[in-house]
């Protein structure tokens, strides 16, 4: 797995992931469980690799020369 998530992309994924996870505390059941979707952007930002980016051929990680 080659890293394909850049630093700005990581920050955005963390913010979006935490925002979605906060729905667990704000909404009532069964809608609050939609907040669990926030695990996906958090996981991809911590790993630095996004499987969807691999399929689409996108790479936001800067290559060091």
What tokens were used for 44?
A: 């991809």
- Report yes or no on 11 lying in a domain: yes
DSSP string, the chain: ------HHHHHHHHHHHHHHHTHHHHSPTTGGGGGGGGHHHHHHHHHT--HHHHHHT---SPPP-
Is residue 65's pLDDT more than 60? no
Count of structural domains, the chain:
1
**Three-state DSSP class for 59?**
coil
Mean pLDDT confidence for 6-29: 96
- Report yes or no on 2 lying in a domain: no
Domain that holds residue 30: 7-56
- Residue 62 pLDDT: 87
- Report yes or no on 64 lying in a domain: no
Is residue 61's pLDDT more than 70? yes
- Report yes or no on 63 lying in a domain: no
């Amino acid at each position: 797995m080659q890293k394909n998530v850049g630093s700005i992309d990581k920050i955005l994924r963390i913010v979006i992931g935490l925002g979605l996870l906060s729905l667990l505390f704000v909404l009532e059941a069964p809608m609050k469980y939609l907040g669990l979707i926030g695990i996906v952007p958090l996981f991809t930002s911590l790993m630095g690799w996004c499987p969807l980016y691999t399929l689409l051929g996108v790479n936001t990680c800067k290559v060091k020369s």
